[in-house]
Amino acid sequence: MPDSSALRQSLEALRHQLNGLAELDAAGVEALEVRLLGRKQGVLTELLRQLPGLPPEDKRSIGAEANRLKLECEAAFQARREALKAAADAAAARGIDRTMPGRARWVGGVHPVTRVMEEIVSIFHGLGFARATGPEAETEWYNFGALNFPPDHPAMDMHDTLYLDIPERRTGEDRRRNRTSGVAEPAERREPSDRRFLDQGRWLMRTHTSPVQIRVMQGEPPPIRVVIPGWVYRKDPFDASHAPVFAQVEGLAVDEGISFVDLKATLSHFAREFFGSATAVRFRPSFFPFTEPSAEMDVGCGVCGGRGCPACKGTGWMEILGAGMVHPNVLVNCGLDPERYTGFAFGMGPQRIALNRYGIPDIRLLYEGDMRFLEQFTR
Ligand code: DAH
């Protein structure tokens, strides 16, 4: 004889199964319907089959309950089917085909230029350099004047620099700010950089990350060790090796007793960390208005191993960065005593480094966002 109380419990459990109905799609509804009400093996069908064996006093009440549940099930299945149909009709009216397979998700990745920049920053981080950033819209003073460019320097030509058409009033505010808080009075016996920049300073898009050196020196006393990743702007044509917006990573170390030896050791260490411990390094004399002496650092060409190839134009070397000892005028412009403090600075182009490292033939590929290109860098 069937157990009455077990039967009651089974009916209750069955009713619970209807709760999940709203989550089911058409196939799910059908499967559940077969499982509960199927003519041969439906759970409820089985229970109903056991009714005749119950004691008479239970037969009536459990039978009534079971039949009520059966009707409830049928109504619920019907309602869910109708809801699904209504949703499908509405989607179809909006032109959505719900039988289409879902769209696969893209796996994100770090852009190769970002990756190179972060790697550079993290190597210097390991040497005690903190990250610093600064504004992309600058004044001529920060971008050129404070960095000891003479006022007639060709880099300031309208052909190279993107000047901003900013109302005179704001330019005036910035000039006042420079004068009162930013720029210290020059130390005696030193010719400061041309002060006309302060009075005629126009706004521009920074042409390099070097102005952030000035802001850092104005903002904190030595010892200073910073790396400055950022984007810079020049009126360059957009071709295989030039872009009007490109990345730089700048570096600056200022303290008592810093010498060219520190510059060479730090940058050689960086090159070996970044390109591999066997990397050859050489320094060549160069010129920048804001460093004296100035140098450029080359590393042995990674493509040909130094034998000479088209990538290194047959020289076996690749230029990686510009560097030098911070010019005394620059220290003075930031209110630092050049008799007490010395420093070195450097600047490099992470995109050129990325092109080289990954064998990318055209810088424009770094800007286009073409997934076929970018997908090669997702890990
Ligand atoms: N600002 C230079 C440029 O854009 C790069 C540079 C060279 C930065 C030498 C420096 C440096 O800090 O010391 O070409």
DSSP letter for each residue of 56-95 = HHHHHHHHHHHHHHHHHHHHHHHHHHHHHHHHHHHHHHTT
d(CA 299, CA 318): 5
CA of 107 to the centre of ligand 1 (A): 36
pLDDT of residue 14: 84
| Cα–ligand 1 centroid distance for 322 (angstroms) | 5
The tens place of each residue's pLDDT in the chain, 379 residues long, gives 778 888 888 888 888 888 888 888 888 888 888 888 888 888 888 888 888 888 888 888 888 888 888 888 988 888 889 988 888 888 888 888 878 888 888 778 899 999 999 999 999 999 999 999 999 999 889 999 999 998 888 877 776 899 998 765 454 545 444 443 344 444 333 444 555 555 556 899 999 999 999 999 999 999 999 999 999 999 988 998 899 999 999 999 999 999 999 999 999 999 999 999 999 999 999 999 999 999 999 999 877 888 888 878 889 999 999 999 999 999 999 999 999 999 999 999 999 999 888 888 899 999 999 989 998 887 6
Q: Measuring from atom 6 of ligand 1, which residue has the nearest CA? A: 347
Retrieve residue 307's tokens: 């034998």
Q: What pLDDT, on a 0 to 100 scale, did the predictor assign at position 169?
A: 46
- Residue 183: the pLDDT is 44
Centre of ligand 1 from the C-alpha of residue 41, in Å: 81
b/e map 345-371, b = 16+ CB within 10 Å: bbbbbbbbbbbbbeebeebebbeeeee
Pocket test for ligand 1, best of 290, 327, 331 (most atoms within 8 A of CB): 290
Q: Residue 219 in 3-state DSSP?
A: helix
Torsion of CA 293, 299, 301, 306, to 10 degrees: 90
Which of 154, 347, 354, 362 shows the shortest CA–CA distance to 238?
362
Q: What is the CATH number of domain 112-133+214-377?
A: 3.30.930.10
pLDDT at 184: 43
Task: Report CA(116)–ligand 1 centroid distance (Å).
Answer: 18
* Cα of 291 from ligand 1 centre, angstroms: 9
User: Is residue 36 within 8 Å of 73, Cβ to Cβ?
Assistant: yes
pLDDT of residue 189: 33
Nearest CA to ligand 1 atom 5: 347
CA pair distance 141, 44, nearest whole angstrom: 86
Q: What are the backbone dihedrals phi and psi of residue 184, each rounded to the nearest 5 degrees, phi first? A: -80, 160
Ligand 1 pocket at CB < 6 A: 208, 210, 250, 288, 291, 322-324, 345-347
- How far apart CA 305 and CA 112 sit, in angstroms, is 23
Residue-level length of the chain: 379
